Amino acid sequence: MRNLFCLLACTLTLTGMVVGEEKKDALTELYGKLSAVSPKVVKAGYTILHIEFDRLGSGPSVTFKRQLQKGFKYKIVGVGAQGIADIEVKLLDSKNKVVAKDEGQDGVGIINLVPGASGTYTIRVAAAKMDGEEGARPYFFCLVASKPQKAEQTPP
């Protein structure tokens, strides 16, 4: 867990996101949400592979790629700060086909899946609905975690 918080601090420092008071407040809010979510994910047996921090506006999305393996369960959690009323998280395969998406309509998007094939997948995060002033605090984090399937769940 200590490594996770060091990674968070380094990410914020390197991206220069901790600059103004408004940004600091939004990121402090997200840090608190990450501190609440990550222990639950780890306690459920998952290993955190990646945490993406960025800023959204209405319309544009942020994408990043991850190698996913067949035979593993994945949990992808997107969480928006104040300003994002509905965060949308989608997983696309190598042909840009949506293979999974969150179904919620709030500031948290969760995808649980077991990929049918190993490969490079794209995770797309967007603000489906903004709350309040346009671009008030549209920061988010997206956490990607995995764990092996149990032997009895793995196909022969």
- Tell me, what CATH number does 15's domain have? 2.60.120.380
Lowest mean pLDDT among 13-17, 117-121, 141-145: 13-17
Residue 121 is assigned to a structural domain of this protein: yes
The continuous run of DSSP H or E covering 9 comes out as helix 2-15
Task: Give the residue numbers spanning the domain of 111.
Answer: 2-150
Residue 155 is assigned to a structural domain of this protein: no
Residue 138 is assigned to a structural domain of this protein: yes
User: What's the domain count of the chain?
Assistant: 1
Residue 53 is assigned to a structural domain of this protein: yes
Look at residue 15 and tell me whether its pLDDT is greater than 60. no
Residue 5 has a pLDDT of 45
Which long-range contacts (C-beta less than 8 Å, at least 24 apart) are formed by 46-50?
46/73, 46/75, 46/145, 46/146, 46/147, 47/145, 47/146, 47/147, 48/4, 48/143, 48/144, 48/145, 49/144, 49/145, 49/146, 50/142, 50/143, 50/144
Residue 32 is assigned to a structural domain of this protein: yes
Residue 156 is assigned to a structural domain of this protein: no
DSSP three-state, residue 73: strand
Q: How confident is the model at residue 94 (pLDDT cuts 50, 70, 90)?
A: very high
The stretch 110-117 carries a mean pLDDT of 94
The stretch 26-40 carries a mean pLDDT of 88
Look at residue 4 and tell me whether its pLDDT is greater than 70. no
Angle at 110 between CA 1 and CA 120, to 5 degrees: 80
The stretch 105-132 carries a mean pLDDT of 90
Residue 24 has a pLDDT of 55
What does the alpha-carbon distance between residue 118 and residue 112 come to, in Å, rounded to a whole number?
16
> Model-level pTM?
0.77
What does the alpha-carbon distance between residue 41 and residue 137 come to, in Å, rounded to a whole number?
25
Residue 6 is assigned to a structural domain of this protein: yes
